[in-house]
Amino acid sequence: MRVKDNIAIDIRKVSEPDLKEFIQSKGQPGYRAKQIIEWIRHKGATDFDQMTNLPKDLREILKAEFTFLPIQIDHVQKSKDGTIKTRFVLHDGYYIEAVLIPSVADKRYTICVSSQVGCSLTCSFCATGQMKMQRGLDAAEIVDQYRLVNDQCRTHFNAELTNVVFMGMGEPLLNYNNVMEAIHWLTDQRGIAMPPRRITISTAGIAKLILRLADEPIRVNLALSLHAADDEKRNSIMPINETNNLEVLMRALRYFYEKNKRRISYEYIAFDQFNTSSKDALNLVKLCHPFPVLVNIIEYNPVEGVSFTKAGSEAIDRFARILLKHRVNVTVRKSRGKDIDAACGQLANKG
């Protein structure tokens, strides 16, 4: 069996051209590669014997050379508000988490997927940021989260997932190739067929990769984890800002908007006595007018070992009113799944 780093190669990581070359080297017709890809990407196969239109001798060749390394459900928690958090174990023993966020009233069912094991950005308010960065997830591991959580959605809500947000563990743009491959997989009309407008990538702000994303043929939504509207404050909580400051980020976001014509979201966690003053609001207004923006104000969710506390409702309301007065689109978002550590910034494989 083919191995890399002492691990058998997951056939789902093999490109169609490479698979075609391999199959032809074994005396099999090249069109079989397309059939295999269809089984994997369109039908979700995780076993060679499921590929019933392949001859048995080819299936045996594939078994001898490749394997499947799907993620496995390790632990599931359900919040009193209906949110479901699932911890998955990967083939190499690492853990990741994904969250199903139901909004039954408007028939919206969102999965928050992880893109990395841990995170390298060390944002001071985030549980994942306190974890050691281990590795990026491959595209199949990202899509596995979708498929398994979609099964949960069918079981609990008799519905299919409607939205995908890359807001779980890790920085999606630092696992760029695998995230984009997963998005191609998710949006393939012959398979899952998720509309790109229902997929959102959330980033802490890597300007050069925002520019790269803007030029992709698949037009997904973009959310910036902003959390402070001046460089001094943002540097103090998000070290990535020291090399991707707000001026640089605004240029990249403007380019993204000009190429995509999609409104950009700012995620803004409201911390007590830190980023909800009138001055903070006016600084934020300046970042909202160069292109259409929706500001999502999010209450802070407690993280063990972190000294931040959430801003009070009066402070949040006052902050939001200033934004509205200056014609900024704003929502005040209630956190979901706090009781199971499934809310924004809380994912840390605690179970």
The Cα angle at residue 271 between residues 285 and 308, in degrees rounded to 5? 150
From the number of C-beta atoms within 10 Å of its C-beta (0-12, 13-18, 19+), residue 327 rates as: exposed
Select which of 112, 119, 153, 344 is catalytic: 344
Contacting residues for 146 by C-beta, under 8 A, at least 6 apart: 111, 113, 161, 164, 186, 192
Instruction: Extract the tokens encoding 293.
Output: 């923006």
From the number of C-beta atoms within 10 Å of its C-beta (0-12, 13-18, 19+), residue 250 rates as: middle
Select which of 60, 97, 112, 141 is catalytic: 97
What letters, b where the CB count within 10 A reaches 16 and e where it falls short, cover 167-197? bbbbbbbbbbebbbbbbebbbeeebbebebe
Q: Which of 342, 348, 339 is nearest to 110 (CA)?
A: 342
From the number of C-beta atoms within 10 Å of its C-beta (0-12, 13-18, 19+), residue 157 rates as: middle
CA 310 to centroid of chain Cα atoms: 24
> Scanning the structure block, which residue is given the tokens 């959430």?
310
Q: Is 216 a catalytic residue?
A: no
Instruction: Extract the tokens encoding 159.
Output: 């519905």
The Cα-based distances of 208 to 130, 137, 179, 249 in angstroms read 25, 21, 16, 9
Q: Is 153 a catalytic residue?
A: no
- Bridge partners for 10 per DSSP: 67
The Cα-based distances of 92 to 48, 269, 320 in angstroms read 21, 34, 45
Active-site annotation, residues: 97, 344
